[in-house]
Amino acid sequence: MSLFASAPALAQGPADSFVALPTRSGVTLPLAVTAPEHPRGVVILLAGSKGLVGITGDGGKVVMRNGGNFLVRSRGLFVAQGLAVIVVDTPSDEPDGMSAAFRLSASHVEDLRRVVAYARERFGLKPWLVGTSMGTFSAAYAAANLPPEELGGVALTSTIARGALRWALPSGYGNGVLGVDLKAIRVPALVVRHQNDLCEFSAPEAGPRILEALAAAPHKALLTFAGGEPARSKACDAFAPHGYLGIEGEVVAGMAAFILEGSPRVGSGR
C-alpha cells in the first residue's frame, strides 16, 4: 500500500490553496483545499499507506510531493462534480507518516475534528470523511468517534478488511476496519469496491460485511466497479484496480451522486 508515485490531478480545475491548520498543542496539519465557485458538498480526502502526501505551500502555489493516490489524483474530478475538496496530509508531529495505530488514536480524531470544523466554517456544509485503503481506518474511526451532527457522512473505498502483523494494530483489528465500532457511525455511509481488486488486505468480497456492520447508518450503499486499465503498480498500490486505475471518473461520479443526496448545510436537522 505504498502511497503513490507523483501524478497530476485528473480534470484540472480551480487551483489548490495551502492551509496549515493548527490542531493539537504545537501541532499543525497541512491541507490542500480546492473548491468550485458554489460547492454543494465537501469531502475530506484521507489517503492510504502512511498518508504522507507531502503538501507544502510555495509562493502561494501548492506542491504535493506524493500525489498519485486514488483520492488525491482524483481531487479535480470531485470538484467538477460540485464538491469542495480538502486533502489531508500527515500532522507535523508524524513527519514520517501515520502508522495504523495512530490512525486509530484520539490524537488523530482530534486532528480530523479540527478539519471538520474548518470545513463547516469555511463552506457552511457538513463534510464527508472519505478514505481509501489505509485511509479507511482514519475515516471509519473518526466517524465512529465524532458527533454525528458534525458530519455529512463517511465513504470507504478499497476498505482494509484484513490486518497485518507489521502494522502493530491494537487487539481486535485482525479484520481491519471491521474492528472499528462501525455500529457507532450514525451518518450516511458509502462503501466502494473494485471487483478485480487483488490486494490481499481489501478483498472485494468483504464489501457486504462492511455494509452490514454499518448498522446505524441512516442511509448506506455499496458501489461495485469493474474494468479500467491494466495495473501499473503492485496490487495494493495506487495504479491498480485497488486505486481504480482508468475508471476514476466513473467512480467519483458514482460517489458524488450518493454524497450530494446527503450533504446538509450547517444548522440543518441532518
Give the integer Cα–Cα distance in Å for 94 and 111: 12
Q: Residue 5 has what pLDDT?
A: 45
Give the integer Cα–Cα distance in Å for 264 and 270: 6
Domain count for the chain: 1
pTM of the predicted protein model: 0.93
State percent of the chain over pLDDT 90.
84
pLDDT tens per residue, range 203-244: 889 999 999 999 999 999 999 999 999 999 999 999 999 999
Q: Residue 264 has what pLDDT?
A: 58
Q: 10 Å Cβ neighbour count for 229? A: 12
Q: Residue 14 has what pLDDT?
A: 78
Q: Residue 215 has what pLDDT?
A: 98
Q: Which residues contact 123 (CB under 8 A, 6 or more apart)?
A: 35, 39, 42, 84
CA neighbor of 262 nearest in space, from 187, 195, 164, 211? 187
The answer to whether residue 10 sits within a structural domain is no
Q: Where does the chain show beta strands of DSSP type E?
A: 17-22, 28-34, 41-46, 55-58, 61-64, 83-88, 128-132, 153-157, 189-194, 220-225
Q: Residue 194 has what pLDDT?
A: 97
pLDDT tens per residue, range 60-110: 689 999 999 999 999 999 999 999 999 999 999 999 999 999 999 999 999
Q: Is pLDDT at 265 greater than 70 in this prediction?
A: no
The answer to whether residue 147 sits within a structural domain is yes
pLDDT tens per residue, range 187-199: 999 999 999 999 9
Q: What are residue 223's DSSP bridge partners?
A: 192
The answer to whether residue 251 sits within a structural domain is yes
CATH code of the domain containing 125: 3.40.50.1820
CA neighbor of 40 nearest in space, from 73, 80, 13, 88? 80
The answer to whether residue 1 sits within a structural domain is no
Q: Is pLDDT at 183 greater than 70 in this prediction?
A: yes
Supply the DSSP string of 46-96, one letter for each residue: E-STT----EEEETTEEEES---SHHHHTHHHHHHTTEEEEEE---TT-TT
The residue-averaged pLDDT of 162-184 equals 91
Q: Residue 165 has what pLDDT?
A: 80
Return the sign of the alpha-carbon dihedral for residues 85, 103, 140, 268. negative
The owner of cell 505551500 is 57
Residue-number span of the structural domain to which 76 is assigned:
17-261
Give the integer Cα–Cα distance in Å for 33 and 62: 9
The answer to whether residue 267 sits within a structural domain is no
Q: Is pLDDT at 4 greater than 70 in this prediction?
A: no
Indicate the pLDDT class of residue 1, thresholds 50, 70 and 90: very low
The answer to whether residue 247 sits within a structural domain is yes
pLDDT tens per residue, range 7-66: 555 656 678 899 999 999 999 999 999 999 999 999 999 999 999 999 999 876 899 999
The answer to whether residue 5 sits within a structural domain is no
The answer to whether residue 187 sits within a structural domain is yes
